């Protein structure tokens, strides 16, 4: 399992620090980033957490996938590499 995790269905109010704090229950969090809209600064409802090692990443998936955080059930799984997209015209 990779160290970088996708975290979906985040509450709009969740920010980087709150995400990092929550996932630290599973182990050492290297980074936690909530993705925000560039124009509005509003959360897009998903983010990424990078755990220190594969074991802690697996533990985080088991602990948080399907569990509620701020009233919303999270989707947590291994992050896939970003696929190339066609440029917008």
Range of the domain at 68: 4-78
Strands across the sheet containing 43-51: 29-36, 43-51, 4-8, 75-78
- The answer to whether residue 83 is domain-embedded is no
Dump pLDDT digits (tens) for 9-44.
999 999 999 999 999 999 999 999 999 999 999 999
16-23 and 54-64 are packed helices; what angle lies between their axes, rounded to 10 degrees?
100
In angstroms, the Cα distances linking 76 to 1, 39, 57 are 13, 26, 10
What's the domain count of the chain?
Answer: 1
Tell me how crowded residue 74 is: count the other CB atoms within 10 A of its CB.
20
Q: Spell out the alpha helix ranges (H) of 1-89.
A: 16-23, 54-64
pLDDT at residue 81 in the model: 85
Average pLDDT taken over every residue of the chain: 94
- The answer to whether residue 66 is domain-embedded is yes
- The answer to whether residue 70 is domain-embedded is yes
Q: What is the CATH number of the domain that holds 74?
A: 3.30.70.330
Residue 43, beta-bridge partner list: 36
- The answer to whether residue 30 is domain-embedded is yes
């Amino acid at each position: 399992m990779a160290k970088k995790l996708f975290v979906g269905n985040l509450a709009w109010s969740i920010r980087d620090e709150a995400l990092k704090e929550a996932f630290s229950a599973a182990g050492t969090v290297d980074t936690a980033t909530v993705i925000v809209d560039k124009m509005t600064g509003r959360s897009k409802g998903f983010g990424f957490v990078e755990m220190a090692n594969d074991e802690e990443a697996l533990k985080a998936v088991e602990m948080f996938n399907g569990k509620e955080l701020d009233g919303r059930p999270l989707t947590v799984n291994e992050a896939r590499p970003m696929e190339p997209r066609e440029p917008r015209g």
